Chain A
């Protein structure tokens, strides 16, 4: 009992420190991880095994971590090294792509293809945001898309705000469609042993169905705001896609590496290559391709986020080892009264609401042992709970300006270029869209799986 109280306290302290932003989040999570290891595992449980299991380095020495035909079941207790290595690898790849000018080139190519008209830009950029976010982290996608959108808005005399809001929503939606699109999905997939194909067939189907509704929704919301854009503009001022390419050789190589990464991910259940292997491979190939610039590229990797993840997994591991998460699962079961529809609805909406206000990554990491426990006690298929959790945490964050990283980046870039987006403006359009997608997801889950 004491260890549960201390574990919960440490978790709450970690969350409070992250929300307050008084110290950087990676130090909050690492500091609390150390407290968890020393006080809970060492002091209360007197279990060196629990410490070792939570740090989970032994996983790296197993063949199954690097190669597993079918799905590799990774331990959900402790540090999920597969997630860390995959995210690190993708960071290196994306840094190389950004350096070569890939994202800006793609944005300008599409803008040129639709003849620089505002409403077609809205629709095509939404699609581009969705597709890119299926494979690349949404922060990077929005960093580049929002910057180009602001630039085009200035040239073509339309407000970039509606386009950026739509891009942000589609980035979060696209991230929910695949295993590698959003960190919660990476964590869920690696912890529970689901493949890229599993996600695509399940959350991908829900995301795509939602996209079909969301595009007309945003079109109807924003068409009048964008109506007078692109008229009476000096066409010679339009930026050319080729101007985005800093080095043709680097650009070609980064395109090939990206295509290679996508192929590896799509086929990983057939090839047996785990996401950790794919992440490391892609990183090594990118570093080799840039030669002497490898050091510079490595310096730009977001180590703070990786440290944050490590600390987070240890803290959640502490909650799991002490039985706190099992209690939460039991509570959900009691509240739902054994009704599977209610159980699913609780997980979906609580995930969505929580993700709208707090970082969805710690929430998803915490909920994985909860849904595992629920699956055992209720008889519900674990995969159904996994897809529910994924949709709730990935898309729920779109409802508010602080719910997801992509939202924060999009709002920041727009604001710093003079287009300040407050809570009112943001939530007016994106909160209803979020609720719409949650309803579509809930209906999809009920009809398809229950």
Chain B
């Protein structure tokens, strides 16, 4: 063959092959796009629903409830893509088509899409006034709100809640499709705050019947998204006395959701809404649930997976396609009380971080399929893996290191023999509060044995439901292994303010368990014994405060040009992990889910850290 012909032949071959590849890709893409619509998605729920406000969006704080609401029932001004990873934590338009931030970050103007209607029995278009209804319910404590503090930044919100004003001054509705928020101060995470289900539009003609009655509206929740509670079309809203709960949700054993006839898919690019029906059923035991999933009677479950089932699915190649692991955006940690000996000394706290066999603790939870060993405060996913290499207490195999721990202990006031062991009498018989879950039984021997290696011995007390005790500063619990903390939304502020701000420490329900930033005056008022004097870098004793840094980071806003806010929080994580050391974080848990053979397509919703119910397809 002469040269030009050869070149032609070669080019032709390339074109043919290229075309073939394109066709193949196209048909594969076609096949992928042909996800089946229809069918019923059956979800099993262990023991009881456990809703915090009986599914009333105003007060409902359960993570699993968020997943149901934001995927299936409640649209908000801004929302998410209902996908895993960073894409799923990103703010995208939902009911609002666009928004404008002005006035130095203190004014937010949202323009609403048209064609968004309430589901039966309300059946009318959603207006800006319906958002006002939702915020008014959030403001009034009697309506059961559980995260109203996010909205105190809106002008007039607290005054309205206390009954001092007739309306919320900072929210205005110039017309039906515009809503304006005026804030007292700039809040860099405000968009995240209006993505929460409590801020979704609510019809005043229905919610007025539940005024002051927390925990009742949930059974008559009026939908704005692809599904509605079964039986809502039969609910009579002509008067409050005629209003009965919808038949599809009995509050205890079953929640049945069917398609919302008033929903316009064209207004909603993010929710795919594959199944015709989504049914949540309460089942007695995890054992039972996973047997039913294997048999195909259930398709999915909200409960945690017993280790033997995990093992079966993770090791069996034919079952692996039904096994899904995603980041839970949650840290599990041992909390140390900065006011109680011997943990009032940073040397001891650092030594605790060095000595803990974190791999064994994670193994007690179920091993690497349950989560990854935690290296610092905030899960890497929330910082987009920028802090992935930051492992201040890394040891071989994550089994802990006696040598490093002793080195860290040296110089502590409790190291009386100057050999790196905690030998002061205050190191012996320290009160450790544990819960009674199965995983606590597995973790306790490891924690006790490790602490003993640096001379600390514990008096262990167990209680069923340890949180209320840990949340009460006056109980003066030195150390507890129960806590875990998950994000509310993807801004790091939810991982810092409630946990480390000294000014928000309250006598009951306190979430700053370590009492970071507590002052001697507060200690006296709250009944905290122990030394609350400020941190002394020379001795390592005392209580450090990060309040100033928290304020600095919170005031920053991420823009297209710089993510100064995130960088600030990254610095704060580093500081807390190395200089304050209030925790021994040990696990960043995954959300592991198993599906039945009926499920043809599974997706995870990173915002709620639950399965993305609207994006899951069944046969």
A binds B: no
B contact residues vs A (CB 8 Å cutoff): none
A contact residues vs B (CB 8 Å cutoff): none
